[in-house]
């Protein structure tokens, strides 16, 4: 009987992992449609671009100039930057550029506040009809703003998600794995947008939202972009995904930097799961369905892997398989230690980061103050 229970548990674990990593993405990709246009020209409301910055002197000038190099009407654009007590010269660069761009504004906090707190301050100060939330390292194209704004093709569209794209020619394993992951996520978002009228998750580095629909982000929140996503969807608003609204960022080449970033992301994911878990049974389709199979099961994959390993080791008939699986997992973490890794190692490391992020969440979070990912990596 114990062997049967172990086999059932192991099979269920494999099924859950397969549903979130294979079946759900495959269904979304198979239902992708050809679409010639993602926006409607002629809609040119006032726009306020907001982002937080902490010690971003390496990228801040390129970022600002990419905004003002836009084909969108510049007299309808204002830029609000919240500096979280930067001390590396970031603020001085912004102040210098204000003489060139009069509708560029700097808000400097008096103490470390964290991204969510800064974004709330900037959103309240913003006067544009449309807010574009972004990050200091996301470089706009000439059409990024117009593609985002003109995707508000109807009144029930509350937000538009842009497409982050990696640039550069880094070709190590971390960069390749991140590139594959981002490309897949972008296609899944497009599939969701076409099938459901929303994509489940706007990238915090690039999305537009109606100012009237911005919701104050709760204190100490990580993943404020997913908070805005879910609060809009709970209100039955649509979220368009426009793959032509492109923002460029340098691909991460350090698995250690990516590991730290994924821990922060995981922490924020579980914050938002606690806030919005009720949609799993109150809005079962399509929102609850997409939330479960695109997000929740993925967030719990490391927990499922642990249960799977336990079930295999507990059952004498599968103990050898469990031992091999444990050895493979142990090898992956040793490879990371010596900076030798491939896609399997990347997958294992990112799932470990998700598990550690959950543990940090369970301990309690009192601040969302952050250290940005290194912008120049070896």
Domain that holds residue 279: 1-378
CB 214 within 8 A of CB 138: no
d(C-alpha 333, C-alpha 27), whole Å: 32
Whichever domain contains 229, its CATH number is 3.90.550.10
Give me the sign of the Cα torsion angle 207, 213, 214, 219: negative
Greatest Cα-to-Cα distance within the chain, rounded to the nearest angstrom: 77
User: 308: which 2 tokens?
Assistant: 């799977």
**Angle at 137 (CA atoms; ends 351, 247), nearest 5 degrees:** 85
Q: Would you state the structure tokens that stand for residue 190, as one six-digit string?
A: 């497009």
Question: How many domains, the chain?
Answer: 1
* Residues lower than pLDDT 70 in the chain: 1-2, 36-37, 168-172, 253, 339-341, 374-378
Half-sphere exposure of 32 (CA within 13 A, CB side): 15
Q: Are 163 and 242 in contact (CB under 8 A)?
A: yes
Strand bridging mode 206-210 / 130-134: antiparallel
Residue 43 has a pLDDT of 87
Strand positions, DSSP E, the chain? 47-53, 77-83, 104-108, 130-134, 139-140, 157-167, 206-210, 238-250
**Residue 318 structure tokens:** 């599968």
Q: What is each CA distance from 53 to 34, 92, 159, 214, 253, in whole angstroms?
A: 38, 13, 23, 20, 22
Report d(CA 12, CA 6) in Å as an integer: 10
Predicted pLDDT of residue 112? 93
Are the beta carbons of 175 and 253 closer than 8 angstroms? yes
């Amino acid at each position: 009987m114990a062997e049967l229970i172990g086999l059932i548990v192991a099979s269920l674990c494999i099924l859950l992992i397969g549903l979130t990593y294979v079946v759900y993405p495959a269904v979304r990709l198979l239902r992708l449609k050809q679409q010639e246009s993602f926006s409607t020209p002629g809609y040119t409301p006032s726009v306020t671009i907001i982002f937080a910055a902490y010690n971003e002197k390496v990228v801040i000038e390129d970022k600002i100039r990419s905004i003002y190099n836009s084909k969108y009407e510049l007299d309808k654009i204002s830029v609000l930057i919240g500096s979280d007590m930067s001390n590396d010269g970031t603020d001085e660069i912004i102040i210098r550029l204000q003489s060139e761009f009069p509708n560029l504004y700097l808000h400097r906090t008096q103490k470390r506040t964290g991204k969510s707190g800064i974004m709330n301050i900037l959103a309240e100060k913003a006067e544009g009809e449309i807010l574009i939330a972004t990050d200091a390292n996301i470089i706009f194209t000439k059409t990024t703003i117009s593609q985002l704004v003109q995707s508000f093709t109807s009144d029930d569209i509350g937000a538009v998600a842009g497409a982050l794209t990696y640039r550069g020619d880094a070709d190590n394993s971390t960069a390749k794995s991140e590139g594959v992951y981002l490309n897949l996520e972008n296609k899944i978002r497009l599939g969701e947008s076409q099938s459901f009228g929303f994509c489940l998750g706007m990238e915090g580095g690039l999305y537009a939202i109606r100012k009237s629909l911005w919701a104050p982000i709760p204190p100490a929140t990580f993943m404020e972009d997913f908070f805005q996503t879910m609060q809009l969807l709970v209100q039955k608003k649509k979220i368009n995904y426009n793959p032509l609204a492109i923002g460029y960022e340098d691909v991460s080449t350090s698995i250690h930097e990516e590991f730290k970033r994924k821990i922060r992301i995981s922490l924020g994911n579980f914050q938002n799961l606690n806030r919005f878990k009720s949609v799993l049974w109150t809005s079962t389709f399509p929102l609850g369905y997409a939330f479960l199979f695109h997000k929740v099961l993925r967030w719990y994959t490391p927990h499922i892997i642990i249960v799977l390993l336990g079930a295999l080791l507990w059952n004498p008939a599968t103990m050898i398989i469990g031992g091999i699986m444990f050895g493979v997992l142990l090898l992956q973490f040793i490879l990371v230690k010596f900076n030798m890794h491939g896609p399997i190692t990347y997958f294992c490391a990112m799932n470990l980061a998700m598990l550690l992020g959950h543990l940090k969440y369970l301990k309690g979070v009192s601040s969302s103050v952050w250290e940005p990912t290194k912008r120049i990596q070896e």
